């Protein structure tokens, strides 16, 4: 079961990330052309993240009722519909319709974000960290696919730039929907057993592992989204860098987000989850240092690479802690709360990014990221005082600490 599931999830992760990166790369630029005011330029990208936050809990509920296979396939069809709406919005030069379309794409992302949980459920507890990393590796293809579609799709189709790009993404999502029907559902757990009884959310929030797992996702995704959303506008619109250079930076960033997944599972075994997360925070701090040195192409490139690496270590570490902090019967509840918290903060960060970079400049974006990083450092210190280093990642909450 796990080989087929992992292969399907890797391929569909590639498609989902490719479509997401397309919106991130061109969404702000399209916004500048269509929005009634410059400060609304990044609203389409922000609404994609808002859509993810709003759909996080419904996505978990839907899959708890109809299963991963049908839930994921239906979401891919929704992603195709969102891409077609983007194409229609560009053809009609409608900013409002484009915003609605990216909101729909965001809802699809809420489902695809749970590919990593489906991967963990398809293998034994001891292999969960490796399965999570494998599925995230699938996004490497998306890192090439999204910017490539953006660069080639810039050529007008029917007189409209990027219309063809969104038509391509719609077709890829239709293929993904068919692939997802090949998933094998993981076995259901008997929640009537005392050892598998679901606890209330308050009990989960009382666990250091669960709290820090959620915090890692919030800080990693929030910081990454805030800086990444502002980057295309700052580079292309404010600093005048070309579209090819802007796409190159975004491509390097996304590769840096997912390439470390090739070794992150081994790093967890070698360093431990907490040390990996500490390195992630340090990489995010290094992002700010490099980016504050200037706004040449290489400053953006290195800063966004460090941003991607820092995100990966926090995201993989946080996800590994998360699946170790709940019982099988609690998985949808815990996953829904985690993704809602993570993408709510990311949505706020994305909404603020456009206004901050346009009105206050690139440096203000960077300095504004410090509070979240300080919060993560405090959280890791608190975890160190509450419990020893987590082990057996992917296991139950009862076996996650020694």
Predicted local confidence at residue 217, as pLDDT: 93
pLDDT tens-digit readout, 306-340: 999 999 999 888 888 888 888 878 888 888 899 88
Q: Is residue 197 part of a domain?
A: no
Q: Is residue 195 part of a domain?
A: no
Q: Is residue 196 part of a domain?
A: no
Predicted local confidence at residue 188, as pLDDT: 59
Q: Is residue 192 part of a domain?
A: no
Rounded Cα distance between 309 and 314, Å, is 9
Predicted local confidence at residue 401, as pLDDT: 39
Domains held by the chain: number:
1
254-292 as b/e, with b when 16 or more CB fall inside 10 Å?
A: bbbbbbbbeebbebbeebbbbbbbbbbbbbbbbbbebbe
Q: Is residue 191 part of a domain?
A: no
Predicted local confidence at residue 203, as pLDDT: 81
Q: Is residue 316 part of a domain?
A: yes
Q: Is residue 193 part of a domain?
A: no
201-210 as b/e, with b when 16 or more CB fall inside 10 Å?
A: eeebeebbbb
pLDDT tens-digit readout, 122-156: 877 767 767 877 887 788 888 788 878 887 777 77
pLDDT tens-digit readout, 239-261: 888 878 887 898 889 889 888 88
Low-confidence ranges of the chain (pLDDT < 50): 190-191, 193, 389-402
By residue range, what is the domain housing residue 87? Answer: 2-186+202-399
Q: Write out the two tokens for 228.
A: 């990444």
Q: Write out the two tokens for 254.
A: 């996304």
Rounded Cα distance between 266 and 256, Å, is 17
**Quick one: which of 188, 168, 58 has its CA closest to 111?**
58
CATH number (domain holding residue 372): 1.20.1250.20
**Quick one: which of 224, 258, 211, 220 has its CA closest to 390?**
211
Predicted local confidence at residue 161, as pLDDT: 79
Q: Is residue 26 part of a domain?
A: yes
Predicted local confidence at residue 395, as pLDDT: 39
Predicted local confidence at residue 200, as pLDDT: 82
């Amino acid at each position: 079961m796990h080989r087929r599931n992992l292969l399907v999830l890797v391929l569909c992760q590639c498609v989902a990330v490719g479509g997401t990166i397309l919106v991130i790369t061109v969404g702000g630029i399209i916004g500048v052309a269509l929005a009634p005011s410059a400060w609304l330029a990044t609203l389409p990208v922000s609404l994609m993240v808002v859509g993810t936050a709003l759909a996080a809990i419904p996505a978990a509920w839907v899959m708890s009722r109809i299963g991963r296979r049908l839930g994921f396939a239906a979401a891919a069809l929704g992603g195709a519909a969102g891409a077609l709406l983007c194409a229609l919005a560009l053809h009609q030069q409608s900013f409002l319709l484009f915003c609605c379309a990216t909101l729909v794409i965001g809802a699809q992302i809420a489902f695809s974000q749970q590919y990593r949980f489906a991967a963990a459920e398809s293998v034994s507890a001891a292999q969960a960290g490796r399965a999570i990393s494998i599925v995230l590796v699938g996004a490497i293809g998306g890192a090439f696919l999204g910017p490539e579609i953006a660069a080639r799709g810039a050529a007008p189709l029917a007189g409209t730039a990027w219309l063809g790009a969104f038509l391509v993404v719609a077709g890829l999502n239709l293929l993904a929907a068919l692939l997802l029907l090949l998933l094998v559902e993981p076995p259901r757990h008997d929640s009537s057993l005392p050892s598998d009884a679901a606890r209330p959310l308050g009990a989960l929030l009382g666990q250091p592992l669960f709290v820090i797992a959620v915090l890692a996702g919030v800080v990693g995704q929030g910081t990454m989204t805030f800086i990444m959303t502002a980057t295309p506008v700052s580079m292309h619109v404010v600093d005048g860098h070309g579209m090819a250079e802007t796409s190159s930076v975004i491509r390097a960033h996304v590769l840096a987000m997912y390439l470390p997944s090739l070794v992150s599972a081994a790093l967890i075994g070698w360093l431990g989850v907490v040390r990996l997360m500490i390195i992630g925070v340090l990489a995010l701090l290094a992002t700010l240092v490099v980016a504050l040195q200037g706004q040449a192409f290489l400053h953006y490139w290195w800063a966004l690479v460090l941003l991607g690496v820092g995100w990966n270590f926090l995201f993989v570490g946080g996800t590994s802690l998360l699946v170790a902090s709940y019982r099988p019967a609690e998985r949808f509840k815990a996953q829904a709360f985690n993704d809602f918290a993570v993408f709510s903060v990311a949505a706020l960060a994305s909404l603020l990014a456009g206004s901050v970079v346009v009105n206050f400049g690139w440096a203000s974006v960077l300095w504004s990221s410090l509070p979240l990083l300080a919060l993560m450092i405090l959280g890791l210190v608190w975890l160190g005082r509450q419990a020893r280093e987590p082990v057996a990642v992917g296991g139950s909450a009862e076996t996650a600490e020694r």
